[in-house]
Amino acid sequence: MVTIGPLARTSGTTVQTIRYYEQIGLMPAADRSAGNQRLYGQAHIDRLVFIRHCRDMGFPLEAVRELLALADDPDHACADADRIARRHLAEVERKLATLGALKTELQRMIAECGGGRIADCRVIEVLSDHQHCLADDHGPSR
């Protein structure tokens, strides 16, 4: 059994994050010592490492919650986990396409900038008026 500080260090998370995960139900409540300190066992460590890995891979908290429920039911068919991963992959691919368009637009802006005065700067001109962009698909609100 470890207290929250060593758990945070072992899992690479912060104490605040662990408390938050407990608050929203991703982590089960810890046992308490006689001095009322939270005490965590290996199952807590394993669960927190799983959550951390999911978050590092960009899964949203609701998907992490779904994946944890599946992980807690080892006899469940993995089709649901596949569905969650495919949904996340589609979102990552959408973001990559947006980033690709953003990269192209930034490269064009920079290439068209003559390096003179701000009054003639293509970067400032494009950023001031979206109509100067080649496409509408490089921003988060598009």
Q: Report the CATH number at residue 8.
A: 1.10.1660.10
**Residue 69 domain-assigned (yes or no):** no
Q: Give how many domains the chain has, as a whole number.
A: 2
What pLDDT shows up at residue 121?
84
Q: Which residue has the higher pLDDT, 49 or 120?
A: 49
* 101: in domain: yes
Position with higher pLDDT, 118 vs 138: 118
- Does 40 map to a domain? yes
How confident is the model over 70-88, as a mean pLDDT?
Answer: 96
Average pLDDT of the residues of the chain: 90
User: Is residue 137 domain-resident?
Assistant: no
| pLDDT for residue 17 is more than 70 | yes
Q: Give the pLDDT band of residue 142 (cuts 50, 70, 90).
A: very low
In a domain, 79, yes or no: no
Domain of residue 13: give its range. Answer: 4-58
Q: Establish if 80 belongs to a structural domain.
A: no
User: What pTM does this model have?
Assistant: 0.77
**Measured between alpha carbons, how far is 100 from 63 in angstroms, rounded to an integer?**
26
Is 98 in the same domain as 52? no
Is residue 78 assigned to a domain? no
Nearest to 15 by CA among 28, 6, 2, 23: 6
